């Protein structure tokens, strides 16, 4: 039985607690959040101990593993401290938003000899898994290019995320698609060219990028075109728009993940409710839930977990290159950290 603590009791922390409630091998014991009210709400919902200091939780709760569900920029302290206590880790993506934080987490995991999964949940998304499997099995041939759009409506940066100004569409969204593009292609990104625009979100008090386009070039000369925005109209039928095309020299595959076969003409608007989420028989379904359950199942079996810190650092390095290219207008080569 894996005794688990969660750092970050908001939307994602609550989801992880729900995902593992009653799952074989999972004993979620505690939740920590800087907000006592948030910690208490999640703790009360799932019968957990509530903390406002993760160091106290690590010292008192008798844990085997920790899920770090804090904002993009706030992973390092909890992850490094948990590793120092010999606890396995599931970290929200991105691993970190600076090279220094990414290296510190990776170093702490290696020195402690603990397992660490970075939460690239689309590896558990059936559609993205299918694209990967078609590529890995040779059905696509050489993957020549990928075109991936992952965007949100205004709601996400202006109302859902209180910390959006400390993030961007690249950190919050493109870290998903960078990982997917590298996973499907199986190659290393050697060059990044990015362009974008900003100002509309800043006018609403969220000073970050509105729109980001990034061209990734891999070490075999193939490419991936990524687009992420945070300014889709709130009238969109879903807060997420996700389109994916992979083109190989033998075949191509296209996925529309916004319209997941359900279209609801409600009294107050037209919606795409989606199938990759929600509950069946009181249990959460969907990629992040399946990812968390896989993490626990692997630990219970004594098997390694992944994607790990090396993948997390590679994605962080590419997104850092995206931001550098946005600021400078130049082509940027991501750094090449040593594999773990």
**CA torsion, ordered 18, 270, 152, 178, to nearest 10 deg:** 80
Nearest to 99 by CA among 308, 318, 307: 318
Tell me: do 148 and 254 sit in the same domain: yes
Tell me: do 70 and 127 sit in the same domain: no
Helix axes 11-20, 36-46, angle to 10 degrees: 20
What are the pLDDT digits (tens) for 74-99?
A: 999 999 999 999 999 999 999 999 99
Tell me: do 41 and 138 sit in the same domain: no
Mean of per-residue pLDDT scores for the chain: 96
Tell me: do 66 and 129 sit in the same domain: no
Please provide residue 88's backbone torsions phi and psi, each rounded to the nearest 5 degrees: -70, 160
Residues 139 and 136: their CA atoms lie apart, in Å, by 8
Nearest to 49 by CA among 27, 69, 65: 27
Whether the per-residue pLDDT at 168 is higher than 60: the answer is yes
Reported as a pLDDT band with limits 50, 70 and 90, residue 337 is low
- Is 112 part of a structural domain of the chain? yes
Reported as a pLDDT band with limits 50, 70 and 90, residue 134 is very high
Tell me: do 102 and 206 sit in the same domain: no
- Is 339 part of a structural domain of the chain? no
- Is 284 part of a structural domain of the chain? no
Q: What is the mean pLDDT of residues 46-58?
A: 98
Tell me: do 44 and 83 sit in the same domain: yes
Residue 145 parent element (H or E): strand 143-152
Q: Are 249 and 230 in contact (CB under 8 A)?
A: no
Burial of residue 1 (CB within 10 Å: 0-12, 13-18, 19+) is exposed
pLDDT, residue 339, reads: 44
Q: Are 151 and 238 in contact (CB under 8 A)?
A: no
**CA torsion, ordered 225, 230, 231, 232, to nearest 10 deg:** 70
Residues 56 and 323: their CA atoms lie apart, in Å, by 36
pTM exceeds 0.85, yes or no: yes
- Is 103 part of a structural domain of the chain? yes
Tell me: do 85 and 159 sit in the same domain: no
What are the pLDDT digits (tens) for 104-118?
A: 999 999 999 999 999
| Beta bridge pairs of residue 217 | 191, 223
Q: How many CB atoms lie within 10 A of CB 275?
A: 12
- Is 147 part of a structural domain of the chain? yes
Tell me: do 32 and 77 sit in the same domain: yes
Q: Which domain holds residue 134?
A: 123-278+313-328
For position 127, which CATH number holds?
A: 3.30.360.10
Reported as a pLDDT band with limits 50, 70 and 90, residue 262 is confident
Reported as a pLDDT band with limits 50, 70 and 90, residue 226 is very high
- Is 134 part of a structural domain of the chain? yes
Whether the per-residue pLDDT at 338 is higher than 60: the answer is no
Tell me: do 145 and 80 sit in the same domain: no
- Is 235 part of a structural domain of the chain? yes
- Is 334 part of a structural domain of the chain? no
For position 17, which CATH number holds?
A: 3.40.50.720
Whether the per-residue pLDDT at 41 is higher than 60: the answer is yes
Question: CA 258: distance to chain centroid?
Answer: 18
Tell me: do 244 and 145 sit in the same domain: yes
Q: How many domains does the chain have?
A: 2
pLDDT, residue 74, reads: 97
Tell me: do 203 and 297 sit in the same domain: no
Tell me: do 132 and 273 sit in the same domain: yes
């Amino acid at each position: 039985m894996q005794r688990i603590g969660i750092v970050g009791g908001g939307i994602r922390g609550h989801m992880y607690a729900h995902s593992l409630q009653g799952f074989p091998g999972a004993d979620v014991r505690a939740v920590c959040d800087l907000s006592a009210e948030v910690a208490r709400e999640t703790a009360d919902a799932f019968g957990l101990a509530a903390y406002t200091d993760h160091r106290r939780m690590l010292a008192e709760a008798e844990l085997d593993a920790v899920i770090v569900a804090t904002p993009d920029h706030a992973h390092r302290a909890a992850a490094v401290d948990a590793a120092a206590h010999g606890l396995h880790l599931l970290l929200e993506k991105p691993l970190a938003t600076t090279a220094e934080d990414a290296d510190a987490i990776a170093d702490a995991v290696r020195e402690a000899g603990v397992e660490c999964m970075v939460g690239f949940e689309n590896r558990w998304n059936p559609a993205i898994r299918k694209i990967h499997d078609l590529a890995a099995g040779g059905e696509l041939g050489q993957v020549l290019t990928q075109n991936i759009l992952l965007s949100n409506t205004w709601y996400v940066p202006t109302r859902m995320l209180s910390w959006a100004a400390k993030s961007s569409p690249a950190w919050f969204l493109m870290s998903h698609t960078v990982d997917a593009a590298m996973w499907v292609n199986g190659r290393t990104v050697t060059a990044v060219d990015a362009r974008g625009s900003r100002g509309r979100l800043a006018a609403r008090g969220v000073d970050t990028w509105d729109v980001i386009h990034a061209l990734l070039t891999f070490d075999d000369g193939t490419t991936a075109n990524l687009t992420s925005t945070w300014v889709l109209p709130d009238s969109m039928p879903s807060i997420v728009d996700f389109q994916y095309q992979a083109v190989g020299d033998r075949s191509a595959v296209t996925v529309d993940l916004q319209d997941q076969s359900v279209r609801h003409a409600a009294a107050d608007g037209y919606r795409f409710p989606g199938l990759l989420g929600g509950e069946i028989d009181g249990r959460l379904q969907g990629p992040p839930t399946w990812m968390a359950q896989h993490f626990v199942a692997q630990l219970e079996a004594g098997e390694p977990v992944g994607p790990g810190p090396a993948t997390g650092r590679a994605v962080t390095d590419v997104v850092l290159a995206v931001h550098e290219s946005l600021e400078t207008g130049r082509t940027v080569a991501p750094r090449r950290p040593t594999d773990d």
